[in-house]
Chains A and B, each alone.
Chain A
Amino acid sequence: MRIFINGEQHDVAPRTLAQALEELGYGGKKIATALNGRFVAAAARPATALADGDRLEVVAPMQGG
């Protein structure tokens, strides 16, 4: 399955968002996610299925004004 993570194309096998984040190496990191422009809470990731062509955004804290 091909999805876009932060604008870059990735081939992933897993079926859920939680599995994909684990496989990609985000496990245990302080991140927040949005799928196709919509927020997905951490608690909802295990039940969120991924589909071919999905656009996933993964963000972390950073400095801001």
Chain B
Amino acid sequence: MSFYGVELSSRLLLGTARYPSPKILAEAIEASQAEVVTVSLRREAAAERGGQSFWSFIRGLGGRVLPNTAGCHTVAEAVTTAHMARELFDTPWIKLEVIRDDETLQPDVFGLVEAARVLSEEGFEVFPYTTEDLGVADRLVEAGCRVLVPWGAPIGSARGLNNLYGLRALRAHFPEIPLVVDAGLGVPSHAAAAMELGYDAVLLNTAVAEAGDPVAMARAFALAIEAGRTAFAARPLEPRDMAAPSTPVLGRAALGN
């Protein structure tokens, strides 16, 4: 699997927020085997040291970072944030979020497409956080996106894949574009389901960070993602309405009267 020409062996991308401690975050990243972690940026006063120590921590991990534009509500905010992120983290990758609704954190897909176009033209490699809408996905690809990041469910909701049909249709319409389900997953079976649909990867944060044991949960997700991907490659059965006996009927002993 590759994103913008970068080959990756792990299909799990992990967020770095909301862990009980930096130590547990580091252990969770290791247990997840993630090669890409998501990061963000926030205001920092001159006397504060939080950003600097987090920066040292991230450098120490040695993996790739995918900065986000979380919290941005307009194209201008998202574009400026992307520029700041590119300089801070020294990467053209940006997980582009342009949020419209504060209750569901549903993307403003109109602003998203516009920001994706501006950033792609400026050389960014955009990972757009979007819905499963096919028309929007098509516009994002037209705008220059070579990865799509549809939601499973609202961020942090732990609901799993809200629109299985929509996600399946998206996969079918964009067989060549890497697709990453981001947001709304709660348990490893949700991630396995996404992988069984043929999705290329899963991006997680809260489901791991706020689990009772984040390190064990990171490992559980990694196993589920590997299982789901292996199952997809093995071509699963199609569901059917009636039973189909698994034991052959031919040659069965006649034991009735």
Contact = CB atoms under 8 A, between A and B. Distances in A.
Interface in A40-65: 41-42, 57-65
A59 B54 contact: no
A32 B88 contact: yes
B89 A63 contact: no
Nearest to B66: A64
Contacts of B84: 32-34, 39, 59
A60 B67 contact: no
Interface residues of A, number: 25
B55 interface: yes
Main DSSP-derived SS at the B contact region: mixed
A22 B25 CA distance: 33
Interface residues of B, number: 39
B134 interface: no
B44 A64 contact: no
Contact of A58 (B44, B54, B205, B206): B44
A64 B50 contact: no
Interface of B: 15-19, 25, 38-48, 50-52, 54-55, 58, 67-68, 70, 76-77, 80, 83-85, 87-89, 155, 183, 205-206
